[in-house]
């Protein structure tokens, strides 16, 4: 087993189509893990090693994050290739949650795109240090300098080139290593032979300028280098590497590498960068919550001799049952060991321990802190923490975005019902952003997710993996309801039947929460003088919580509301928890109608890229869909339009965009915020909902 300081857990993340999977494929090839290169959309029909699902190979996109491990020199690298499509953003979340470092891949033509911004935000959320790799330097219009400017302006990074391309577009020959001041050429089969030479004379001045910039940026994080820099001396290679490492690990500097994964140029130097500049598990601070000490934060250390703590971050249903991916943060785990799931206190034996190489498994006997492994036969949910039973620690949970789209689904025939239920059960366990609920009124099964493609992939997987044909209703947007002003309530609940009755009175008000509130609901107890006994206060909270599940405008959840109780009355015999819960529920409904309720709809951040001649048509199309143009950017004959558009208007957009741009337009879209729907649309929606209810009640 490699010593922990020589382990690197890295992810490869980027905007869709920036070349992440191609880069992962080259890394595996150069590290000797695979012996032939297959392209993502290759003609050989094999497909990339990391895209192991048939659907991924057909669509040419990554759907699930794939894990593998490899070695580079005497370093062990655990690598996770993540999807770039925003619909599968949870795959990126869960990967970054367990990684120590990342490679942010950017296209040298498109630069920093909308999804690059999202991925960068996720890296910041989990404090993951990163290197940037400017890929596709062989493409027409490649401009790494512009991409570095965008890193600075759009993402507020502090970037500095560590390698720079020799020639661009079809003249890309190799890269300059700015740390060692050499030209690096990639020759032989698949660029696997490296030749280092003197920097071409016509690039010497550029290289000198980039080196000065690199030393200047790195000197801020290292006193020794700062001294050398200020005295005008020349730092040693070791001094420069140590300073860049400090800058990268503190996330105050982003070392930038260049190349073309597809043309096999620059990948090996990037691998050297991963081992030189990204942290080992020993250099990352990980905190757990101690359940025995009221969730007190406790620092974990990557020490194989300490009590075991590991996190189940991803589940997959494989040929042999559930496969659980684990990141070990502390301690050692062996095959046959007993481990405890802190979430439910259940103990399980580890029947099989494997390292994953995409969809292949390599059995191992034991594994220790800092590693990423997979286990069979361990039943749990995504995000559960496991220990050896000596400690009760839980890892902090990851961020799970809300679903924005829903579909009614049902198996075509009765025979498929069992498989249909099995599939939905499995997918909700695997993917926290995929949710299933039953519509009580219509009796339909509703699936909710992050976008059209997200749900489309799951429906296709039910068909293929469970051999079940599905009927699918029209996509529906996840609307919300909210209140726009304060309203008071004073509600008395009285019910007299034989024996003891029910009595409760609650008084107070509901009001909108400030727009920057983290939670969607807040309960305030302002009762004084015991007019409502303490034991009934939680029942009032429960009643309000039940009321916000379904608003009265269109039957959608109510968000952004604060309920305050400040008055009430009880009866010595007839008051009960049930009575107060019911009183709060009806009090809320009474006040809700007076609080001028509104309907909110999800607004998406849309980025469309198309040739300049279609600019007018593209903007016209966005305007037709109630979109608000936020900005346009023209570069290299292409226009990028950024807009905010209601999701409800975006169904079928990809077909429309392709037809007006001769198939050359591309777009990406992600959830931005909830916003009030226009008054006329709200009135229509309320009418339609009431009509549906009236029909349902007949």
SS3 category, 564: strand
Whether 609 contacts 640, CB under 8 Å: yes
SS3 category, 575: coil
What whole-number distance in Å separates Cα of residue 475 and Cα of residue 682? 19
pLDDT at 237 over 80: yes
What whole-number distance in Å separates Cα of residue 579 and Cα of residue 493? 7
The helix (H) or strand (E) run that includes residue 483 is strand 480-483
**Listed range (53-62, 240-249, 287-296) with the worst mean pLDDT:** 53-62
pLDDT at 75 over 70: yes
pLDDT at 553 over 80: yes
What whole-number distance in Å separates Cα of residue 580 and Cα of residue 540? 6
What average pLDDT does range 223-236 have in this prediction? 79
pLDDT tens-digit map of 611-637: 888 889 899 999 999 999 998 888 767
pLDDT tens-digit map of 403-427: 778 888 888 888 888 888 888 888 8
DSSP lists the bridge partners of residue 348 as: 339
In terms of pTM, does the model score above 0.75?
no
Give the pLDDT of residue 643.
92
SS (H, E, C) 114-130: HHHHHHHHHHHHCCCCE
DSSP lists the bridge partners of residue 504 as: 493
364 compared with 161, residue with greater pLDDT = 161
Give the pLDDT of residue 36.
55
Pick the closest to residue 384 from 399, 401, 397 (CA basis). Answer: 397
What residues contact residue 550 under an 8 Å CB cut-off, 6+ apart? 556, 557, 558
What average pLDDT does range 455-479 have in this prediction? 84
Burial class for 225, CB neighbours closer than 10 Å (0-12, 13-18, 19+): buried
Whether 138 contacts 173, CB under 8 Å: no
What whole-number distance in Å separates Cα of residue 197 and Cα of residue 204? 13
Radius of gyration of the chain (CA): 29
SS3 category, 500: coil
pLDDT at 60 over 60: no
The helix (H) or strand (E) run that includes residue 619 is helix 615-624
Q: How far is CA 619 from the centre of its chain?
A: 29
pLDDT at 41 over 70: no
pLDDT at 490 over 80: yes
Q: Would the CA dihedral through 20, 21, 25, 28 be positive or negative?
A: positive
Tell me the pLDDT band of 50, cut-offs 50, 70 and 90. Answer: very low
Give the pLDDT of residue 409.
87
Tell me the pLDDT band of 43, cut-offs 50, 70 and 90. Answer: very low
SS3 category, 157: coil
What whole-number distance in Å separates Cα of residue 490 and Cα of residue 215? 69
Give the pLDDT of residue 543.
94
What average pLDDT does range 64-88 have in this prediction? 72
């Amino acid at each position: 087993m490699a010593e922990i300081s020589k382990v690197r857990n890295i992810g490869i993340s980027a905007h869709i189509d920036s070349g992440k999977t191609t880069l992962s494929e080259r890394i595996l090839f150069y590290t000797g893990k695979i012996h032939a290169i297959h392209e993502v959309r290759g003609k050989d029909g094999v497909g990339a090693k990391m895209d192991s699902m048939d659907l991924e190979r057909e669509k040419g996109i990554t759907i699930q994050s794939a894990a593998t491990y490899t070695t580079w020199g005497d370093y062990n690298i655990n690598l996770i290739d993540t999807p770039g499509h925003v619909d599968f953003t949870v795959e990126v979340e869960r990967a970054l949650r367990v990684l120590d470092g990342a490679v942010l891949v950017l296209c040298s033509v498109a630069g920093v795109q909308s999804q690059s911004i999202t991925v960068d935000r996720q890296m910041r959320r989990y404090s993951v240090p990163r290197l940037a790799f400017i890929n596709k330097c062989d493409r027409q219009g490649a401009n790494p300098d512009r991409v570095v400017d965008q890193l600075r302006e759009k993402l507020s990074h502090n970037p500095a080139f560590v390698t720079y391309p020799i020639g661009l577009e079809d003249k890309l020959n190799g890269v300059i290593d700015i740390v060692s001041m050499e030209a690096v050429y990639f020759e032989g089969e698949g660029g696997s032979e490296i030749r280092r030479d003197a920097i071409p004379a016509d690039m010497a001045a550029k290289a000198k300028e980039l080196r000065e910039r690199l030393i200047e940026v790195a000197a801020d994080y290292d006193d020794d280098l700062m001294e050398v820099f200020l005295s005008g001396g020349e730092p040693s290679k070791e001094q420069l590497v140590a300073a860049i490492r400090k800058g990268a690990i503190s996330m105050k500097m982003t070392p930038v590498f260049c190349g073309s994964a597809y043309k096999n140029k620059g990948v090996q130097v990037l691998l050297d960068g991963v081992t030189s500049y990204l942290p080992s598990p020993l250099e990352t601070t990980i905190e757990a919550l101690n359940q025995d000490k009221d969730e007190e934060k406790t620092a974990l250390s990557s020490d194989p001799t300490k009590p075991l703590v590991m996190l189940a971050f991803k589940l997959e249903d494989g040929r042999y049952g559930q496969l659980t991916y684990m990141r070990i943060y502390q301690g050692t785990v062996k095959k046959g060991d007993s481990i405890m799931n802190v979430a439910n206190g259940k103990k399980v034996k580890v029947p099989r321990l494997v390292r994953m190489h995409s969809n292949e498994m390599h059995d191992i006997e034991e594994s220790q802190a800092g590693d990423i492994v997979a286990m069979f036969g361990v039943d749990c949910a995504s995000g559960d923490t496991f220990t050896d039973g000596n400690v009760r620690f839980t890892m902090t949970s990851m961020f799970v975005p809300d679903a924005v789209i829903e579909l009614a689904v049902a198996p075509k025939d009765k025979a498929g019902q069992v498989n249909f239920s099995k599939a939905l059960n499995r997918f909700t366990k695997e993917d926290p952003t995929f949710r299933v609920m039953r519509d009580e009124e219509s009796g339909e099964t509703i699936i909710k997710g992050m976008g059209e493609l997200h749900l489309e992939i799951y429906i296709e997987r039910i068909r293929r993996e469970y051999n079940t044909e599905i009927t699918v209703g029209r996509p529906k947007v996840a609307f919300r309801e909210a209140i726009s002003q304060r309203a008071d309530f004073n509600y008395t609940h009285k019910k007299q039947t034989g024996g003891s009755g029910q009595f409760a009175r609650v008084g107070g008000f509901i009001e909108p929460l400030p727009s920057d509130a983290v939670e969607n609901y807040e309960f305030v107890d302002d009762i004084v003088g015991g007019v409502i006994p303490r034991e009934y206060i939680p029942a009032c909270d429960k009643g309000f919580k039940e009321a916000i599940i379904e608003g009265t405008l269109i039957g959608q959840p109510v968000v952004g509301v604060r309920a305050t109780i400040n008055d009430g009355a009880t009866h010595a015999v007839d008051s009960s928890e049930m009575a107060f819960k019911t009183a709060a529920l009806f009090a809320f409904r009474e006040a809700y109608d007076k609080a001028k309720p509104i309907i909110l709809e999800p607004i998406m951040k849309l980025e469309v890229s198309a040739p300049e001649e279609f600019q007018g048509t593209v903007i016209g199309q966005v305007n037709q869909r109630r979109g608000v143009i936020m900005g346009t950017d023209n570069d290299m004959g292409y226009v990028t339009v950024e807009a905010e558009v209601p999701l409800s208007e975006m169904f079928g957009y990809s077909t429309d965009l392709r037809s007006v741009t001769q198939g050359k337009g591309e777009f990406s879209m992600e959830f931005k915020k909830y916003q009030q729907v226009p008054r006329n649309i709200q009135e229509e929606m309320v009418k339609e909902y009431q009509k549906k209810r009236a029909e349902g009640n007949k």
